[in-house]
Each structure stands twice: as C-alpha cells, then as structure tokens.
Amino acid sequence: MTAHYLFICHPDHGHLIPTLAVVAELTRRGNRVTYLTAESTARLVAEAGAEPVTYDSPYQRVRSREREDDPLALLSLLLDESAAILGAVGRLPERPDAVVYDISILHAGRILARKLDLPATQLIPIFASNAHYSVLASTYECEDGGRLERALPGWVDGMLARIGALARAHGVQDDPAELWWEVQDANLVTIPRSFQFAGETFDERFAFVGPCLGERRFLAEWEPPGDGLPIALLSFGTIGAARPELLRTCVQALAELPWRTVVTLADGVDPADLGPLPPTVEPRRWVSHLSVLRHASVAVTHGGIGTTMEALYWGCPLVVVPTTALDRPPARRIEELGLGRALDPALLTPEGLAEQVLAVAGDPRIRQAAAEMRQEIRAAGGTSRAADELERLPAKAAA
C-alpha cells in the first residue's frame, strides 16, 4: 500500500541531501512525497521526486559563520525555523499520511504530528540521543544532560518558554520539555550503530540505517587523471568561508605532498584566495564527494558527519580538524574507533598536517578499521532500509 509523506527539513545541505535519496526511493516505489523547504533548495527536492512547498526560511537569511560559531544560537535559530515551517502548513495541498522530520527542526515535526494526529519519524543525520548519551551535553563536554541544564538554566528555561508558546499557537498543549527531550517512537539514524556513542543502549525505536546515498545529479562526477598519485579529498564545507586561513593551511600542506588533492569549495570561497596552486591541487565547487572518495587514501575534513560517512562508505580513513563545538564529538569518535586522527586547529601547521596525512595513509590498523566500518555501513541497509522503515509507518499507526 502506497502512502503520502510530508518531509520537513531546514535548508542546510548537510541535513537535506541525506533525505533526497530516501525521497527518490519512496517515489520510485509509487509513494507520494510533499516537501516543505526553502526556495533555495526547492529544485533539489523536485529533482528527487517530491512536490516542494516553499516557506521563508530564517536559517537561510543568517550568514553561515553566525550559524557555526555557537550551537546554542543555532538551536535558537532552528526554533525560529520550526515556527516558519509551521506557519506554512496551511499551504499544503492536502493532508499527508505521515510526517518525516529532520532532528534540526524537531519542534516543528513534533508539534505538527500532534496537531494533525499523524504518525511521525525523526530523521537523525548526526549522533542520536537517549538517556545514556546526549548530543548537546557531549558538544559542551558535560557528563550528562542534567549537568547541561544546571550549567545553562536561563537559556534552557527561555527555550522551553518559547517552545510552549509555539505549541499553544498551534493548539498543542503538551509539556514543552516533552516536546523537546522525549525519545520518539520512530527514529532513522543515518550512521551505523557501531559509530554511535553508547550504541548498544539504543532500543528498537532507533533504526541505524547508515548513510542514505543516491544519485545526485546536481553534483559533477570526478575521475582520477591516471597519473598514479595517491588521492586526498579536502572538504571543510561552510567552515572554509568562515576560516579561510585554516583552509589555506590545509591546501598548503597537501600541495607539498606528491599527491593529487581535490578541494571542494563552498559558496563564498574564491579559489584565488587559496594562493598559487600546483596542478595536482584541484579546487572544485559542487563535485561529488563519493566520486572522489572511492579513489582516495585520506579525507581531510572539519568533522562533519555527512562527509565522514561518505568517506567511511568507501573505507577511506580521515584526518579531522574540528573547528567548532559541533565538530568535536565526531572527531573524538573517529579517534576512539581508530578510523583516523584529530588535530587541534590552534596548533595546525602545513608540516604537521602533511605528516599526519602520510601517517594515517600508511597505518595498517587505521586502514583495517576503516575497511571494517565500510562493511558495517554496507550491512546497515542505507536508503533501501530507510524506505522500508518509512513504508511501515502508516500501517503501524492504523493497526
């Protein structure tokens, strides 16, 4: 039996792109998908097979550096995003059968599911949280969520008041703390269970499907030129625009190696700002990471989960330079699992980075760990399993 799904996600490519493969698979199977999204990402959503319904995105209007520097400010901004999404629900063509919402705008997803009395699934393209592990507490290096609340009582109380007001504006009277912290009945986590902190403590409500990858027509493919040089991917996303000096240090390090390096550039980064480049360093915009990583010996990144999972999908080890609080947990997990090394950005030098790239590429234990993680990712099910889980959602609600 086919169904009509409503997807909601803020217009951040690291969160939105993993949903597109799932949308494409659902529509390929005959389901219908409506997607609430910003004007800037409507084309990508439509190309995946969904019907876009656009809204004016607060997130889109704020510069990337302001989003990255402070996770608390980011969470506040994303609550504004939830309000904007809920304000656009009246423009939906018809009532869906189920809601699928990204964890970034969980308030919109949870309020909407209650308002329309619909089954819902939460998409988690980062680490998941439960009673044993908290993403927010880990980001601030607290031992548990309770300590975080005691450390930030005014901020937490203010957020709860705003959540409650937003819920009541849409006729939902539930406890704001429940709307924020409650573990949902259905969660799709796009990392393998073994990569998750405290992964063994997550119950059947969490499906660790691994990265959801699919055709990305909006990205250019890349093939090695056949010169036999080892290959590296250097990708810092929007951090490259916020921290150009860091990106230049990394480019300088890799330019000195007898390697071929593909540097992916976000909007706002001019290739000329990287300085003179040898022909072995290729700055690219909108290139498929997967097409590079399938050939790469090392990926150098700030620690974004999306690029990390893409690298490990191909068994590619990592050198991580975490530049924000949000990057620290992935960097720590990569080191804990022996999948690469994390470097302090304050101490980074071209010589030090080049040395670590060579060390990671030449370490058989790291290569073996990355190869084993690749097998676990492939076994997790990815896009197909995510679609299977979602197709069971309306039937479970009707039972």
Residues 231-378, CATH architecture: 3-Layer(aba) Sandwich (3.40)
pLDDT mean for each 10 residues of the chain (399 residues): 94 90 97 96 95 95 59 87 96 95 97 96 95 83 50 79 97 95 94 97 97 83 94 84 82 95 84 86 90 97 94 98 90 97 95 97 98 98 97 76
- What pLDDT is attached to residue 143? 44
Would you identify the CATH topology of the domain 4-210+381-398? Rossmann fold (3.40.50)
- What pLDDT is attached to residue 65? 45
List the chain domain ranges.
4-210+381-398, 231-378
Residue (of 369, 386, 226, 240) closest to 311 by Cα position: 369
Concatenating the DSSP letter of every residue in 126-159 gives S----SS--HHHHHTT-SSHHHHHHHSHHHHHHH
305 contacts 125 by C-beta, under 8 angstroms = yes
Concatenating the DSSP letter of every residue in 302-337 gives S--HHHHHHHHHTT--EEE---SGGGHHHHHHHHHT
179 contacts 107 by C-beta, under 8 angstroms = yes
Q: How many H-runs (helices) and E-runs (strands) does the chain carry?
A: 18, 13
Predicted structure pTM score? 0.92
Exposure string of 348-381, with b = 16+ CB inside 10 Å and e = fewer, is bebeebbebbbebbebeebbebbebbbebbeebb
Euclidean distance between CA atoms 220 and 231, whole angstroms = 17
- What pLDDT is attached to residue 153? 65
Same topology, domains 4-210+381-398 and 231-378? Answer is yes
Contacts 24+ apart (CB under 8 A), 305-310: 305/14, 305/125, 305/126, 305/127, 305/190, 305/191, 305/330, 306/14, 306/17, 306/18, 306/125, 306/211, 307/233, 307/235, 307/237, 308/334, 309/190, 309/191, 309/210, 309/211, 309/377, 310/211, 310/213
Backbone angles phi and psi of 308, in degrees to 5: -60, -45
